[in-house]
Amino acid sequence: MATTRRDFLRNSALASSLLLVPKFLHALDRGPGLARLGDAPGARRLIVVQLSGGNDGLNTIIPYKNDLYYRARPTLGIREAQGILALEKDLGLHPALKGLKGLYDQGHLAVLNSVGYPNPDRSHFRSMDIWQSGSGADQAVSTGWLGRYLDSNCPDCQHPYNALEIDDTLSLALKGTARKGLALKNPGKFHQLNQNRLLAQVSQQAAPAHHDQVDYLYKTLAETASSADYLYEKSKIYRSAVAYPNSDFGKNLKTTAELITSGVESRVYYLALSGFDTHVRQQEQQQRLLTDLGDGLAALANDLQQNNQWHNTLVLVFSEFGRRVGQNASNGTDHGTANNVLLLGGGLRQKGVLNAAPDLANLDQGDLRHQVDFRSIYASILKDWLGADDAAILGTGFERTAGLV
């Protein structure tokens, strides 16, 4: 059976890094004349923040005037006297989210409650696949919603660095059929790793009988090498003086702001904050993580505001599912279903709490019922923010929220 180009690359020893390319193989270097994204009329970028593990939405956006909340959580429920940060519609932010309260007061935060999808799955892996692919619970999709955006008719998405994941590995969300994003933690280390590879490692994999596979491999590696050079050079331009949390997440947000302000033409950035699987002793764990989240996003907004890049930036914050309404016996919460989604940015058209609080009197066997399909939010972002064909990327049937972004 003939070996396909995709099989050749997947089976190659080089496939794990895609960095092994000689310095002179830069036939696909970024061409001249591309303007800085932030300077292009109407240009916009998206930053996605994934809260991995299933963040407890009810203790993030708290229905602190609802007695049913406290009956379900006699010890885990957060009381107004503990410093809940009041919003509207009888909801408030977790006391650790002071950074987000500041953005709310500026009109730079929007909250959507009860977001989910039909027939929800409580598996971390499966539910995350659903959110990252933008698929239904009854579908198995091998591409991500943002990867399909890269595949779409997007004139600004021709290079791997047009979608960056600030991490060591690339998530499904950024994998398309023809195009995919690029994962890196540090532009300098990424560049150095690329420079340390040898042409011999490429040639050992290149069987003369498969010239088309060799060409494909060289093209893929050259794209990565060119992107590494480009990102490294851009990363020298701006060094942030804003104080970010001294955490991995804080450092990743700082890297994101530095790349944006340095002029990297990425349309999408993807980050994750992990640790939200709070079955046991939730209060301490969520307090720490939400402090990191709120302070980090406030620092990012401040950084981008100082450099006139906040008005054309949209931040989407989601988690793969919420938690059960009732607390468990270990002072934690178990896997649930619907959750809240946050949108942040200087160009929001709708601000504040955009829909009603979760209905705690109408549960589905102890779980919240979803009122908003997450793909409707994706559709609004794709069409109204990024200017893409949302139906071609997600399929039909997902009504966009008018005037959301």
Q: Residue 190's pLDDT is what? A: 84
How does DSSP assign 40-76, residue by residue? STT--EEEEEEEETT--GGGTEE-TT-HHHHHH-TTT
- For the packed helices 248-262 and 211-235, what is the interaxial angle rounded to 10 degrees? 90
pLDDT tens digits for the chain (405 residues)?
A: 445 555 544 444 444 444 444 443 444 444 433 345 555 656 899 999 999 999 999 999 999 999 999 999 999 999 999 999 999 999 999 999 999 999 999 999 999 999 999 999 999 999 999 999 999 999 999 999 999 999 997 877 889 899 999 999 999 999 999 999 999 999 988 877 776 653 444 545 544 555 665 565 666 677 788 888 999 999 999 999 999 999 999 999 999 999 999 999 999 999 999 999 999 999 999 999 999 999 999 999 999 999 999 999 999 999 999 999 999 999 999 999 999 999 999 999 999 999 999 999 999 999 999 999 999 999 999 999 999 999 999 999 899 987 889
State whether residue 112 is helix, strand or coil. Answer: strand
Q: Residue 134's pLDDT is what? A: 98
Q: Residue 382's pLDDT is what? A: 97
Q: Residue 353's pLDDT is what? A: 98
pTM: 0.89
DSSP conformational letter for 4:
P
**Type of residue found at 396:** T
For the chain, the residue count is 405
Q: Residue 4's pLDDT is what? A: 54
Q: What gap in Å lies between CA 113 and CA 119, rounded to an integer?
A: 18
Q: What are phi and psi of 379, to 5 degrees?
A: -60, -40
Domains recognised in the chain with CATH numbers:
74-155+237-394 (3.40.720)
Q: Residue 13's pLDDT is what? A: 41
Q: Residue 154's pLDDT is what? A: 81
Q: What gap in Å lies between CA 171 and CA 272, rounded to an integer?
A: 10
Q: What gap in Å lies between CA 366 and CA 336, rounded to an integer?
A: 8
